[in-house]
Copies of this chain bind each other. A is one copy, B any other.
Amino acid sequence: MDDRSDLAESFASIDPEFRQRAKDLASLFDARNVAVVGASNNPRKASHHVIHTMLEEGFIGNIYPVHPSEDTVLGLTSFASLGDIDEPVDLVVISVPTPIVLPLVKEAAARGDVSNVVILTAGFGETAVAENVALEREIVEVGRAAGMRIVGPNCIGVINTRTKLCTGFAPGLTLAAGGVGFISQSGALGGAFLMSCASQPAPLGFSKFGHVGNMSDVDVLELLLYLADDEETRAISMYMEGVRDGRLLMQVALEVTRTKPVFALKVGRTELGSHAALSHTGALAGSDRIYDAALRQAGIERVASLVDLVAVSKAAAYLPSPTGRRVCVLTQAGGPGIIAMDETAQTDYLQLAALHASTQDDLMEILPPMAMICKPNGYIDMTAAALEEMHIRSLETVLKDPSVDSVVLITLPPTFLPAIDLARAIAPTLRAASKPVVTCLMHGDAMDEARSHLEAQGVPTFDTPDLAVRALTHLTRATLGTSANKEDSR
């Protein structure tokens, strides 16, 4: 069924130097002594927010603001130059006007203790102006000579939610820890992803975040390989525009997807989109058909939108790993149930579970006479007459059927059944489930309290039935792909 193992052999193994560089990114994510150059007290400056976020969230290391004229920044002692910091510095974050970035990188190099430099400033290679491209190249050379890796320029850098290191900025950013690592080839999309995570009914945590901007030195594929070995990262989500080295993408992806599900929103699906991507990062997006085939062969699960990427990240963070494709759709309302069935059929991967006769008998006893049980088999419409107890017992009944691998649970608590009462009632069953259940409580703000209650306990909820089905489909395909690959490579 899966020939990825052969495929991996057909690619030369990953270059050991590249592998070492990826491993060494630990020095970036685990940095403890961070200088922020350009940091001011003006909240209209990006670097202000870098320090503000780390202070707010409680970065466990040391922060050294560097500014020519400020004495203190956000209460921290500020230094006139990098050279003035007497303590060790392992990471320098630079956010200053374009022309003075190079001199500052040289200052960082001169210190001798700096391992990584994150450059937030834009105006380099992405402008496609010869002079700026040359400037970017010189920065990388200075870095290389001094043994410093350059992240960016034109990036928001990295986040480590364990240490609360955060070189970037986004409104409403919170650094809750969780199991998903996120890699972005767009600062804006990276920010949007994090803001979407923060806006879920309960904030969706993440392990690490990386946006490497122009990729003058540190490359997006190094991040991917680094996260493969990161113990705090259970699954990886990516926003991709394009990579320079398709062969390396395949090598890295084939290795990473052996152990963790990887989800990607790859844009440039169309010629117009590719053209826009070209003017954005200067990276050739390449033929979408080739990317699509490559991602599939490498076991990277492609999603169609930011909303889908966040949804599958949530599913991956919270749910037990699916062990098969057979899904039971358990709904309390017909219309939303039909939508789930349409989506299941259309995505053409999950199969409707064939419930055992005894399960059907049990459901018949539990549910009211007007309920539609297994028409077709695997689909149960409990009807709006189903209150708390019927939800719980129906869910328990289908979960214990060995022909069911996963469940889509849809409910629209009517006005006479307060959503929070229902959520409190079903939470223990959902929490205890050893099979993945994607839950959809419809709809809108009126469900917020109930959904927050569930998510705070690690029970993921989704806005609509189609989104719930897509999240489950992506998670199942990526996970089964991973396991199959594992078995192949034994």
Contacts of A344 in B (CB 8 A): 272
With contacts A192-B412, A415-B49, A445-B199 taken as known, whether A334 is within 8 angstroms of B276 at the C-beta atoms is yes
In the complex, what distance in Å separates the CA atom of A67 from the CA atom of B191?
56
CB of A375 within 8 Å of the partner chain: yes
Contact pattern, A 114-151, Cβ under 8 Å of B = 1, otherwise 0 = 00000000110011000000000000000000000000
- B412 touching A191 by the CB < 8 A rule? yes
Contacts of A273 in B (CB 8 A): 338-339, 341-342, 345
- Output the least CB separation between A283 and chain B (Å): 11
Contact pattern, A 273-292, Cβ under 8 Å of B = 1, otherwise 0 = 10111111100000000000
Contacts of A335 in B (CB 8 A): 184-189, 192, 239, 241, 267, 280
Closest residue on chain B to residue A156 by CB atoms: B414
Contacts of A341 in B (CB 8 A): 270, 272-273, 275-276
- Output the least CB separation between A153 and chain B (Å): 12
Which chain A residues numbered 43 to 68 have a C-beta less than 8 Å away from chain B? 43-46, 48-49
Q: How large is the interface on A (under 10, 10 to 19, 20 to 34, 35 or more residues)?
A: 35 or more
- Output the least CB separation between A471 and chain B (Å): 14
Contacts of A329 in B (CB 8 A): 276
Closest residue on chain B to residue A379 by CB atoms: B276
In the complex, what distance in Å separates the CA atom of A466 from the CA atom of B126?
24
Contacts of A192 in B (CB 8 A): 335-336, 412, 442-444
Closest residue on chain B to residue A50 by CB atoms: B415
- Output the least CB separation between A35 and chain B (Å): 20
With contacts A198-B444, A338-B273 taken as known, whether A43 is within 8 angstroms of B385 at the C-beta atoms is no
- Output the least CB separation between A199 and chain B (Å): 3
CB of A305 within 8 Å of the partner chain: yes
In the complex, what distance in Å separates the CA atom of A171 from the CA atom of B196?
25
In the complex, what distance in Å separates the CA atom of A219 from the CA atom of B115?
72
Contacts of A337 in B (CB 8 A): 276, 280
CB of A263 within 8 Å of the partner chain: no
> A280: which of B195, B277, B338, B464 is its contact (CB, 8 Å)?
B338
> A446: which of B123, B172, B345, B376 is its contact (CB, 8 Å)?
B172
A-B pairs, 4 with minimum CB distance = A186-B335, A172-B446, A188-B333, A280-B334
